């Protein structure tokens, strides 16, 4: 059963009402979640407004935050594993579950809600066996969706318009939302800066680790905002990435949807979207990183990170000039020891699926030397 506390509980009333009006909630079963989200957003509104105004005034005289380290890669390519590993280093800050749940309240009442939010955390991420704890590093997709940036998560909340929201975020395509297209980038840029600067303060001004699969195609935008940012691309066997990504979206939908939807209709469009978006993001990645120097850009293979994690991480720290691998190493070793009994999801793929994957992704399969042994 889906939690009554939906991620949109952390939204502000204006954004929440706009999303509900534009997308509609037609399933009576979802109304308890919607009403709770409205109540929580209204109760938080005075405190969130005070924090937003105070934060804006303070930023006029604040020192610039350190440029982040961005972890990119297509969904299910190992970005979460790498994010969790790097977050063990005491040199980095990251987005916590509490900041994810209440992105407008990172510096204020988030501490008041901490016990409640910790109780509301799921034991894992629904889509795999990766544990979620009060200190698990999170990506910025959910908080930015909560704050009102265009996001594929809105397609998971309102699946009757799943493809439109997905294209708007991943492909930066206005589609049916053409009236908002001109403002999408400006809105994302403003909210991205606000949220990351808030988190930076919360994390004692350490360089932030930011993970987001969509940013695989956003690097030109991120370089504009953060000229000294560092980028890590992790890639994985495409024969495994495809079924795992399909599982990811189909598993999240029933947990997050605020309206009824035709599962078969979404499934019929999901596979083409996965194939198309993989190509789109990889092409954007190649274009946007072609002139990055080695100290700002590195690619790593997920399977190598699995078999030789400390060696791969030391290479990464060295090339990117990341701070103090020696200090991070004991923390990394402890985390890796705790993963001893972790089991990945397993997927079976038939010859027809293999042929389709190769039809779309063969250049990358050949470039990276993969075989269909998922």
Report, as an integer, the average pLDDT of 41-66: 90
Q: What percent of the chain has pLDDT over 90?
A: 78
- Per-residue DSSP letter, 104: G
Mean of pLDDT values over 280-308: 97
pTM summary value: 0.92
Which distant-in-sequence residues (6+ apart) come within 8 Å of 230 by Cβ?
A: 67, 68, 69, 70, 295, 296, 297, 320, 322
Task: Kindly write down the DSSP assignment for every residue of 277-326, as one continuous string.
Answer: HHHHHHHHHHHHHTT--GGGEEEEEHHHHHHSHHHHHHHHHHHHT-S-HH
- pLDDT above 50 for 98: yes
Please check the confidence at residue 29 and state whether its pLDDT lies above 50: yes
Q: What is the pLDDT of residue 122?
A: 55
Quote the CA–CA distance of 318 and 314 in Å, as a whole number: 6
- Cα-Cα-Cα-Cα torsion 311, 313, 319, 324, nearest 10 degrees, comes to -110
pLDDT at 120 over 70: no
Q: Are strands 93-94 and 208-211 parallel, antiparallel or unpaired?
A: parallel
pLDDT at residue 132 in the model: 62
* Average per-residue pLDDT for the chain: 90
Q: How far apart are CA 301 and CA 342, in angstroms?
A: 19
Mean pLDDT, residues 241-249: 95
* CA 230/CA 67 separation, integer angstroms: 8
Contact 298, 232 (CB under 8 A): yes
Question: Would you say residue 176 has pLDDT above 50?
Answer: no
Token pair listed for 255: 């947990």
């Amino acid at each position: 059963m889906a939690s009554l506390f939906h991620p949109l509980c952390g939204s502000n009333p204006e954004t929440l009402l706009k999303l509900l009006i534009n997308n509609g909630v037609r399933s009576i079963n979802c109304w308890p979640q919607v009403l709770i989200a409205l109540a929580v957003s209204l109760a938080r509104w005075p405190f969130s407004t005070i924090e937003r105004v105070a934060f804006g005034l303070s930023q006029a005289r604040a020192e610039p935050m350190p440029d982040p380290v961005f972890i990119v890669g297509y969904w299910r390519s190992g970005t979460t594993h790498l994010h969790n590993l790097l977050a063990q280093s005491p040199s980095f800050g990251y987005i916590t579950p509490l900041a994810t749940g209440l992105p407008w309240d990172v510096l204020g009442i988030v501490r008041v809600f901490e016990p409640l939010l910790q109780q509301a955390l799921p034991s894992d991420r629904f889509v795999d066996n990766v544990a979620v704890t009060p200190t698990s590093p999170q990506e910025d997709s959910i908080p930015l969706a909560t704050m009102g940036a265009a996001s594929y998560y809105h397609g998971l909340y309102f699946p009757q318009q799943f493809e439109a929201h997905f294209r708007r975020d991943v492909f930066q395509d206005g589609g049916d939302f053409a009236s908002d297209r001109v403002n999408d980038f400006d809105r994302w840029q403003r909210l991205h800066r606000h949220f990351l600067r808030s988190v930076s303060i919360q994390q004692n001004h350490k360089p932030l680790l930011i993970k987001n699969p969509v940013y695989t195609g956003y690097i030109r935008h991120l370089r504009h905002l953060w000229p000294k940012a560092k980028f890590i691309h992790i890639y994985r066997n495409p024969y495994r990435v495809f079924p795992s990504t399909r599982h990811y979206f189909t598993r999240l939908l029933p947990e997050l949807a605020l309206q009824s939807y035709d599962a078969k209709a979404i499934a019929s469009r999901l596979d083409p979207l996965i194939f198309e978006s993989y190509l789109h993001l990889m092409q954007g990645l190649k274009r946007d990183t072609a002139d990055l120097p080695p100290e700002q850009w590195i690619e790593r293979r997920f399977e190598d990170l699995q078999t030789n994690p400390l060696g791969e991480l030391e290479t990464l720290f060295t090339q990117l000039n990341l701070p103090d691998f020696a200090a991070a190493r004991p923390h990394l070793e402890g985390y890796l020891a705790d993963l001893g009994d972790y089991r990945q999801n397993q997927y079976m793929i038939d010859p027809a699926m293999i042929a389709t994957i190769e039809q779309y992704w063969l250049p990358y399969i050949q470039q990276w030397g993969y075989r269909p042994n998922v």
